[in-house]
Amino acid sequence: MRLESLQRDFAAALHDRTCTPTLLPSLLDPDGRAAERVALYRGNLVTAWRKALASAYPVLRAIVGTEFFDALAHVYGHAHPSVSGDLNHFGEHMPAFLADFAPAQSLPYLPEVAALEWLAHRAHYAADAISVSRNTIAALTPDALLDACFAVHPACTWLDSRFPLATIWRAHQLDADDVLPDQPSAGEIALVVRPYWRVDVVAAQPAEIAALAVLRRGEPLHMALAAALAIAPEFNLVQALPSWLDLHLLVSGHAVGSA
């Protein structure tokens, strides 16, 4: 048998026990336990699915409970088998999968919780960059500051939701101070950040996100400020900038420090 055919039959047997008889004639089986060993491989595969998804989606797991989550991992794994040798990519289809997963329809916010968790998961593995310091900002004149271009940290992203995603996420962290809402109905923009290599999620305002979107495009700070003020005339850059620095949102762009 060609290696390609053997691998195909082995993969089929891992995903569907009824395919095992097709595989067995191709295996050495001196003690008659080949089917049992294939079953062990199958069990290990499902365990790997559960562990990978639990690592990427701890909040989702906490919301639905271990039993439901393990069953979800089993169904998801069959629907979206891993196509990468890196299981960190395995859960990327979970938000869309949950949107059509009938047993989860009673919790309509689950797909967006999963979407936020996947952003946080990706942020953990995002490239590093040297964030802009307060000393760098302090060394700039007001005009130079407004003309400067700051890039947004590679780990930073955001998700605008009709649900309070940031509050839900934070309420499920260890030593959380945030209180889980009784009815998760009010929307939030969840901002994903990674200060000091630890991923965090905070609630953000539309004006703030508008400014960050402009900075991400490589535009100078004065254009980011204009975008924010167009949404919220009360937006205060003097208050927002220190917060961005503390969250390590900004990294050096191509014109930082230019006059």
| Residue 81 pLDDT grade (very low, low, confident, very high; cuts 50, 70, 90) | confident
Domains and CATH numbers, the chain: 3-92 (no CATH), 134-252 (3.90.930)
pLDDT of 189-205, one tens digit each?
A: 999 999 988 999 999 99
- The residue among 121, 185, 131, 108 whose CA lies nearest residue 157 is 121
CA distances from 243 to 10, 131, 196, 246, 248 (A): 53, 13, 14, 5, 9
Mean pLDDT on 162-183: 83
pLDDT of 200-221, one tens digit each?
A: 999 999 999 999 999 999 999 9
**Six-digit token pair at 99?**
């949107």
Q: Which pLDDT score is estimated for 118?
A: 98
CA gap 13, 22 in Å, rounded: 8
Q: Which pLDDT score is estimated for 140?
A: 95
Q: Which pLDDT score is estimated for 37?
A: 72
Q: Could you tell me the pTM of the whole model?
A: 0.85
Q: Which residues contact 40 (CB under 8 A, 6 or more apart)?
A: none
- The residue among 40, 30, 43, 32 whose CA lies nearest residue 74 is 43
User: Mean of the per-residue pLDDT values for the chain?
Assistant: 88
CA gap 38, 28 in Å, rounded: 12
